[in-house]
Structure 1
Amino acid sequence: MLAPLPTPASAPRGEPSLALPRSFWKDFSQRHWDREPAVFKQPFAQHFFTGQEIYEAFLEAALRMRRGEYTTPLRFFIEHEDGPDGLPHYGMVLFPAPYLPTREDGDLPNYLARLDKLLGGKRFGLVLNRAQGFHWNHWLQATTFLSGLYASAGVPLGSNDSSIFLGNYRYTPFGIHKDNSHVFNFVVEGTKRYSLWPYEALSGRDEVPKGVSLIDKPCSILLRDKQEEAELLSRASFLEASAGDVTYWPVSYWHRAEPTEGMSLSISLGVSFSAPYFTADAPPHEWPGRLRPTEMPSRRAWQVPASVRSALRQRGQRKALLSAERESTADWVRLLTCGALNGAPPEAQETPLSPDEWIRAHPERPIVCVPLPDKQLLVSAIGRSSTLPGSPLLRRRLERLVSSLNLGKPLSVSALEQAFFSRLPSRAFSRASFRALLDDLVRWRAVQRCPAPGRKSR
């Protein structure tokens, strides 16, 4: 049975952070990044992922799936031992509702106990992609960890993603494969053992397409039998990690999880320099592979980086293409305000603000204003956005509002509203729209309620 990790009695309050010191990233960049696999033994003193947080992320994803909102981020595999080649095979359950967590389970151990009875002891694997979109703490942990990588290697602009792997499966359900991402794997509970091969070791196999390099592309290896498996494993290198450890392998490496004792729980954080997922529908042209950390959203006046603007301008100036440019610009801004992760964290469940309340933004997670074609303005934060009228007068008011919030100081809702509408023509923007924007920022977690200066929070 999988037990939750203990929480240290001295764990500090506040937001969880997995930021590592510059010395770690300097050594990592020189020795391992895009070079060779590595394992780092318990590099975090605090704020590591917990089993309960991961259970809550699974539960949120399961609730959305049951409502029909999501069908692909959650995959459930059942292991079968009767493969004709002597290897186990895995069947993916297309409608896994009975096998997913429910509120009645309460926690991860209870869920696993129910699942064991339901499966009659069969081995299983549960995979949640875009996990940062299902738990606020998970998004914070992922972005704070990646901040050090961004500072040392630049900001990858592909479909960067966090995936949770839970189960007692013996092998990765989708076999030996490679991704289009560099991978950091965090072991939360149990032990993980990975077999790894450099790209050249397996690129000559028949099932690997010829005439094109897949060194940074996804691909899978098809094993015929146990004899072939043994031959490949004899040429592999191995990484083994326990709870609290982090492993890394470059985008070029083939890999597979190997058998270990009991249940395991781990998180794979992939970073990719390929084109972001939303560019798939755009005309083929060059997209920037990475940005400098200084080009990411900041609390000062910020604009979409020049390399992104240049790519967007290639779409042309006709009206239909301007609309496409507007949508693509919004996609890019949401990606960048989300820390270059593929998916925003879940919205906060908050009541509308009242005029006598106070709010403050986090100075390290800035709100941005970006002009769009056809005199519109995009207000965006933490992977979400709202499109507003962008007349010159209203744009100046909105930029001033955002600039005030980005200072990170407590601000009165009523004072913000009064300053915003001072000498503003009544038809330029309604007070209801202003309050709706502030409520959006609260739901996006870009601003939070706070006590008035001089008052202590209850």
Structure 2
Amino acid sequence: MARAPAVPAVPEEPSLALPRSFWKTFAREHWDKGPVLFPGLFPAHFPTPHEIFEALVDVGDRYRHGEVTLPLRFYVEGPAKEGEAPEVFNLFSLGRYLPTAQDGTLDVYVERLERQLEGRRFGIVLSNTQSHHWNHWLQMRSFLTGFHEALGVPLGGADSALFLGNYQHTPFGLHKDDLHVFYFVIHGRRRMAYWPLELLASRPEVARHAGPDLKDRPCGVLLRDAEDTRQVMAQASFLEGGAGDFMYWPSSYWHRSEPTQGLTIAASLGVNFRAPMFLDMAPAHEWPGRLRHTELPRGGKWKVPAPVRTALGRRGQRNSLRAAERELTEGWVRFLSNGALDGPPPEARELPPLTEADWVRASPERPIITVPLTEGQVVVAANGRTSNLRVPNGVRGRIERLVKELNSGKPQQVGALEERFFHRLAPRAFKRAAFQALLQDLARWRAVQRCEPGKKR
């Protein structure tokens, strides 16, 4: 008899969680007060250049397969006139400039790119980096756990943006965001210039568009000439960090990257407390600005947080409104099961179908959750993805028990889970194919992973 292939050991997951003492000090001394550099706090698991390369390969593959609306910007500096800063152009046809798996390493890719660009400086800016690499999603989510406990869960979400290149200054210029920013230097060195809000708020190009809410709005500064640049830079403060360091600055600070030698890779994790992005299409309504960290999904029977349920319940009882309420509830479930990150991790690709003989295990730290909706629907969610099932009441209880078994973190055999689920269940109540599809969804979402067999019951 042929021996079954060995199941690879589940590798240690990368974590950027910092101790509670750090976050208590941060909340008291630094939050919303000014830029600060934190050198070398992570002895392990910091994002690596190779992980960034793999994320960009994922972006390149998706782009070449037709996903041309990816949140990606590619900048190239044009030839500079004497005494003037070079123009910066945004490239729109990117297929030949993005990496492929055949490049092999980031160094090889950058060498190829520099040949293609004939030595011109370049910058790549990618939003939702956490949606292109599993480790990066784990790193950013684990970093936020302490932030959530100290300062609450910002319902504007959190997004990791990648900055890679040898550009001299931030390609889109001196600006401020509507985000509080944590900035991780992954490779090379990064020097940042900062200005508090009031120093540049009276400039004509700012005052023309700014109002009393400028602190919470994105805005840019247009440097007119060399003398204007000299005067503005004379008012700046600076921080410089190397690989393994991270910076923080509030949304009230203008900033711009300054020249350093060679290639730099950094990831900015931005957070804000406005309403979630998925509510943009919802009717104008008051939504909670933040939640307590204990209101994020945990083990046991999790419910959509009370402030969210209250806001949803005020929307009326007509059928059309109930349908919208179900859709919005599912949006909240996706968002909160994702740790309040803006985008889910990439799905596991080329995943062979689970068999009855396979063993799987979930992570209790990232529980699978079930939320009942109206009209016999139940949402099963994990890691920012959902499956909406229409089931009889008796089957809903079985789904909840299945999820409870998985959330224990113990190895579970697929065939045994299926046998217990269908024990004494009427044949037409729920199809075995639907059960198998649900488990396959959970595996594809990385909510369960194949593992070594556990002890027989």
Deviations 1:163-185 (A, max 9, x none): 11110000000101111111011
Q: Using the alignment, how far apart are the partners of 2:81 and 2:431 within structure 1?
A: 66
User: Is 2:239 aligned against 1:239?
Assistant: yes
Deviations 1:317-341 (A, max 9, x none): 2222222211111111111111111
Check conservation: 2:124, 2:164, Cα contact below 8 A: yes
Structure 1 counterpart of 2:28, one-letter code: Q
Q: Using the alignment, how far apart are the partners of 2:421 and 2:185 within structure 1?
A: 49
**1:137-286 superposed matches below 5 A:** 137-208=135-206, 209-286=209-286
Q: Using the alignment, how far apart are the partners of 2:11 and 2:45 within structure 1?
A: 10
Check conservation: 1:367, 1:406, Cα contact below 8 A: yes
Structure 1 pair 449–13 and aligned structure 2 pair: CA distance change class (3 A)? closer
In structure 2, the partner of 1:373 is 374
In structure 2, the partner of 1:111 is 109
In structure 2, the partner of 1:80 is 78
Q: Using the alignment, how far apart are the partners of 1:80 and 1:373 within structure 2?
A: 57
Structure 1 pair 126–211 and aligned structure 2 pair: CA distance change class (3 A)? closer
Aligned to 2:217, the other structure's residue is in SS state coil
Structure 1 pair 207–374 and aligned structure 2 pair: CA distance change class (3 A)? farther
Aligned to 1:193, the other structure's residue is in SS state strand
In structure 1, the partner of 2:7 is none
TM score, norm. by length of structure 1:
0.94
Structure 1 pair 39–162 and aligned structure 2 pair: CA distance change class (3 A)? same
Deviations 1:420-446 (A, max 9, x none): 111222221100000100011011010
In structure 2, the partner of 1:310 is 310
In structure 1, the partner of 2:324 is 324
User: Is 2:339 aligned against 1:339?
Assistant: yes
Q: Using the alignment, how far apart are the partners of 2:435 and 2:268 within structure 1?
A: 40
Deviations 1:282-316 (A, max 9, x none): 11111111110100001110010011112222332
Aligned to 2:167, the other structure's residue is in SS state coil
Check conservation: 1:85, 1:225, Cα contact below 8 A: no
Q: Using the alignment, how far apart are the partners of 2:82 and 2:391 within structure 1?
A: 64
Deviation at 1:389, TM superposition (A): 1.1
Q: Using the alignment, how far apart are the partners of 1:233 and 1:297 within structure 2?
A: 46
In structure 1, the partner of 2:421 is 420
Deviation at 1:392, TM superposition (A): 1.6
TM score, norm. by length of structure 2:
0.94
Deviations 1:121-151 (A, max 9, x none): 0000011110000000000110111111111
Structure 2 counterpart of 1:237, one-letter code: S
In structure 1, the partner of 2:4 is none
Deviation at 1:62, TM superposition (A): 1.0
| Between 123-132 and 66-75, the greater mean CA deviation after superposition | 66-75
Aligned to 1:404, the other structure's residue is in SS state helix
Deviation at 1:154, TM superposition (A): 0.7
Check conservation: 1:189, 1:266, Cα contact below 8 A: yes
In structure 2, the partner of 1:435 is 436
Deviation at 1:24, TM superposition (A): 1.3
Structure 2 counterpart of 1:357, one-letter code: D
Q: Using the alignment, how far apart are the partners of 1:89 and 1:154 within structure 2?
A: 42
Q: Using the alignment, how far apart are the partners of 1:100 and 1:451 within structure 2?
A: 38
| Between 234-243 and 317-326, the greater mean CA deviation after superposition | 317-326
Structure 1 counterpart of 2:204, one-letter code: D
Check conservation: 2:391, 2:430, Cα contact below 8 A: no
In structure 2, the partner of 1:3 is none
**1:83-94 superposed matches below 5 A:** 86-94=84-92
Q: Using the alignment, how far apart are the partners of 2:141 and 2:233 within structure 1?
A: 35
- In percent, how many aligned pairs have the same letter? 53
Deviation at 1:83, TM superposition (A): 6.6
| Between 215-224 and 46-55, the greater mean CA deviation after superposition | 215-224
Structure 1 pair 210–50 and aligned structure 2 pair: CA distance change class (3 A)? closer
Structure 1 pair 81–32 and aligned structure 2 pair: CA distance change class (3 A)? farther
- Runs ≥4 in structure 1, deviation > 3 angstroms? 81-85
Q: Using the alignment, how far apart are the partners of 2:89 and 2:210 within structure 1?
A: 29
Q: Using the alignment, how far apart are the partners of 1:233 and 1:453 within structure 2?
A: 62
Aligned to 2:275, the other structure's residue is in SS state coil
| Between 78-87 and 254-263, the greater mean CA deviation after superposition | 78-87
User: Is 2:41 aligned against 1:43?
Assistant: yes
Check conservation: 2:410, 2:454, Cα contact below 8 A: no
Q: Using the alignment, how far apart are the partners of 1:190 and 1:138 within structure 2?
A: 19
Please tell me the root mean square deviation across aligned C-alpha atoms, in Å.
1.6
In structure 1, the partner of 2:132 is 134
Deviations 1:175-226 (A, max 9, x none): 0111111101111111111111111222222222243312112111112112
Deviation at 1:65, TM superposition (A): 1.0
Q: Using the alignment, how far apart are the partners of 2:41 and 2:21 within structure 1?
A: 12
Q: Using the alignment, how far apart are the partners of 1:212 and 1:286 within structure 2?
A: 20
Q: Using the alignment, how far apart are the partners of 2:396 and 2:243 within structure 1?
A: 50
Structure 1 pair 82–411 and aligned structure 2 pair: CA distance change class (3 A)? same
Structure 2 counterpart of 1:342, one-letter code: D
Structure 2 counterpart of 1:61, one-letter code: V
Structure 1 pair 454–369 and aligned structure 2 pair: CA distance change class (3 A)? closer
Aligned to 1:207, the other structure's residue is in SS state helix
Deviation at 1:13, TM superposition (A): 5.3
Q: Using the alignment, how far apart are the partners of 2:27 and 2:66 within structure 1?
A: 42
Deviation at 1:454, TM superposition (A): 4.9
In structure 1, the partner of 2:15 is 17
**1:357-372 superposed matches below 5 A:** 357-372=358-373
Deviation at 1:390, TM superposition (A): 3.8
Q: Using the alignment, how far apart are the partners of 1:30 and 1:88 within structure 2?
A: 42
Q: Using the alignment, how far apart are the partners of 1:284 and 1:83 within structure 2?
A: 50
| Between 53-62 and 192-201, the greater mean CA deviation after superposition | 192-201
Please, which runs of 5 or more residues in structure 2 have no aligned partner?
Answer: 1-9
Check conservation: 2:122, 2:167, Cα contact below 8 A: yes
Please, which runs of 5 or more residues in structure 1 have no aligned partner?
Answer: 1-11
Check conservation: 1:81, 1:87, Cα contact below 8 A: no
In structure 1, the partner of 2:6 is none
Q: Using the alignment, how far apart are the partners of 1:432 and 1:69 within structure 2?
A: 31
